[in-house]
Structure 1
């Protein structure tokens, strides 16, 4: 896959993932993933004055139900040498997704989907720091067919297979594909990529890896 070049010198400036700077992220996939449609209760029929002929009651179309899944606790991706615990990431005051404070932390967006449930489980990490490579430095080594395992807080293992790895300019980040609501289960991994722009202090692109249940 083509993800662009990185500057890997020891003086490389710390980079925050560009998705994590998009104000539209929260509105595209935040609480919408976690909400479940409210169940409606049909009104009780009024008893008729005389007994009617027996008729079949109307049958309502079954409502599409979202499954919640389990809170993720750990992620492992052998192809990139990753095996790390997960921390929860919320939404900042400006509407953007939070980023891990520690460059060695991997975080999951708690406003989105969860493993084993409906929606996209979004997991993000830094590519590097001022001192060198960070936890998602090797994310560009994942390719279609590679396996990723997410372990839930209940010990359950959820296996995914990479389907695509794409680099996108930050100005053209696929917000709907990453944070948009869906009934399908999907895993999305995000970090920075491309050239580092020292004038603005961030990378020009994002690397987005998509994976489906194996």
Structure 2
């Protein structure tokens, strides 16, 4: 059976949150962390990993806020198990993912291997900051990760 080439994601929609946003490819920062778009209203897709719909785990990230106000994932903490997330590819196709887990981790203890895993299924994980912003470390104290699986 020929392998399926999945398109890069261009848009995300989360009906529970009345959220729609442009998705842009991101890579790694110089210190090896996943980049996040400079624009707090856009979502970054880790382009060095799986694309949504491929076997493995696609990862999206976005800001919770900045010094001006709320970012694209400001209300992500309101998402519930069973909620659906739609991702649209550059080919115009829509993929629907279902939330099966939501976790909050200390910012420096998020399980990177689990979040970016090369799993056997078709997963999409979404990361944003959570908790108080610490001006000293220039970082939020926690990370919120929403785990989803492709609805087939």
TM (norm. structure 2) is 0.92
Whole-angstrom CA distance in 2 between matches of 1:192 and 1:154: 30
Q: What is the aligned partner in structure 1 of residue 137 from structure 2?
A: 200
Greater helix share, structure number: 1
Alignment partner of 1:123 out of 15, 35, 60: 60
Whole-angstrom CA distance in 2 between matches of 1:104 and 1:74: 12
Whole-angstrom CA distance in 2 between matches of 1:68 and 1:184: 16
Q: Larger Cα Rg: Structure 1 or Structure 2?
A: 1
Contact 1:190 1:208 in 2 (8 A): yes
Q: What is the aligned partner in structure 2 of residue 81 from structure 1?
A: 18
Whole-angstrom CA distance in 2 between matches of 1:180 and 1:80: 26
Whole-angstrom CA distance in 1 between matches of 2:76 and 2:49: 21
Contact 2:53 2:123 in 1 (8 A): no
Whole-angstrom CA distance in 2 between matches of 1:209 and 1:200: 24
Greater strand share, structure number: 2
Whole-angstrom CA distance in 2 between matches of 1:141 and 1:158: 21
Alignment partner of 2:32 out of 95, 108, 125: 95
Equivalent positions of 1:113-192 (< 5 A) are 113-192=50-129
RMSD: 1.5
Q: Which structure 2 segments of 5+ residues have no match?
A: none
Whole-angstrom CA distance in 1 between matches of 2:29 and 2:139: 18
Q: What is the aligned partner in structure 2 of residue 10 from structure 1?
A: none
TM (norm. structure 1) is 0.67
Equivalent positions of 1:26-41 (< 5 A) are none
What secondary structure does 1:171 align onto? coil
Contact 2:123 2:149 in 1 (8 A): yes
Q: Which structure 1 segments of 5+ residues have no match?
A: 1-64
Whole-angstrom CA distance in 2 between matches of 1:167 and 1:66: 35
Contact 1:67 1:118 in 2 (8 A): no
Whole-angstrom CA distance in 1 between matches of 2:33 and 2:77: 24
Whole-angstrom CA distance in 2 between matches of 1:66 and 1:207: 33
